[in-house]
Structure 1
Amino acid sequence: MSPQLPTAAQAKDQARQMRTKAGRDGAPLGHAKSLEIVAHRHGFRDWNTMSAAIANGPPHGWTVGSKVKGRFLSKPFTAHVVSVANVKPQWFRLELQLEEAIDVVNADGFSNFRSRISGVVGPKGHSMERTSNGHAQLEVDLW
């Protein structure tokens, strides 16, 4: 498998380009066959398997090395994705390296700076865990 999977739209565009080139070369290629070839090139046994893998993947921009923005304990941050793991369909554990450490304590006499955070976020980019004011503990903006 490729380390970075294309989106469904990118994979279908690869198949369309393949069909166009094959047609120009005088060897017409069907839609289904071109999708199967694209799947094989990415290490999958068939298009349905690849399509399912793409659908279960993280949202665009949530790949290792990507830059993301969000809020942790209501504090804004900008970070790079260190790791991403699928926990269950559409829920991902993200580990983030913050560009600038944030103080996650609201008290005047105490500080706790974080430069790396992790948490599980769902399809809307929010964690299930909530702070005392009802906001999601971790919110990662979707692109």
Structure 2
Amino acid sequence: MSGISTHLPPISDLKAQARRLRSALVAQGQRVSHSATLELVAQAHGQADWNTAAARAPQGADSPRWTLGQRVSGHYLGHPFAGCILGLQAKGAGRLGVTIAFDTPVDTVRSPHFSNLRRRVSATIGPDGQTVETTSDGTPHLRLAA
């Protein structure tokens, strides 16, 4: 992972940098979209693209910061797990798409007659580390421990 910055400024600072860059480029007569400047700022900080930078950058003082490769634990469909974050994607409004590889497969079925073991799961979590989607008893599908 050479060339990747481990100390990103908060996402609000990254967005402010993109706005300043766009203004400077427009002042020089170059037309450029805001999304293009977000990509340039992300690359300037050693990130592959804006989604990666947004997922890795601190979201705010009250939000937990989830990072690629981070060890996590929590509950999936009511079952405890430990694992590693394999993927992150910014979804907007403080939400993240997260892919987790479980250390030990988790059985997603409560029936004594059969099993459905999952080694990996993808979900969208909020700043609190849990999904909006819930099981029939109101338990979030995925809940990461803080």
Calculate the TM-score normalised by the size of structure 1. 0.62
Q: Which residue type is aligned with residue 82 of structure 2?
A: T
* CA distance in 2 between partners of 1:72 and 1:124 (Å): 15
Corresponding position of 2:109? 105
SS at match of 1:70: strand
Equivalent position amino acid for 1:135 in 2: T
1:59 aligns with 2:64: yes
Q: Aligned runs of 1:15-30 on 2, under 5 Å?
A: none
Which of 118, 129, 132 lines up with 2:133 in the alignment?
A: 129
Asked if residue 77 in structure 1 is aligned to residue 78 in structure 2, the reply is no
4+ residue runs of structure 1 moved beyond 4 angstroms? none
Counterpart of 1:43 in structure 2: which amino acid?
Answer: A
Cα RMSD after superposing both structures: 2.7
Residue pair 2:73, 2:82 contacting (<8 A) in 1 also: yes
SS in 2 for 1:134: coil
CA contact (8 A) 1:97 1:115 kept: yes
- Which structure 1 residue ranges, 5 or more long, are not aligned? 9-39, 45-52
Give me the whole-angstrom Cα distance separating, in 2, the residues matched to 1:139 and 1:59. Answer: 13
Aligned counterpart in structure 2 of residue 119 of structure 1, from 103, 123, 141: 123
Match of 1:43 in 2: 44
Is contact 2:72–2:145 with CA below 8 Å preserved after alignment? yes
Which residue identity does 1:85 align to in structure 2? Answer: Q
Gaps of 5+ in 2: 11-40, 46-53
The count of corresponding residues between Structure 1 and Structure 2 is 102
* 1:7 shift after superposition: 5.9
Change (3 A) 1:77 1:7: farther
Between the aligned partners of 2:117 and 2:138, the Cα distance in structure 1 is: 22
Amino acid in the other structure paired with 1:72: Y
Distance 1:55 1:89, change over 3 A: farther
Partners of 2:99 and 2:139 lie apart in 1 by 20
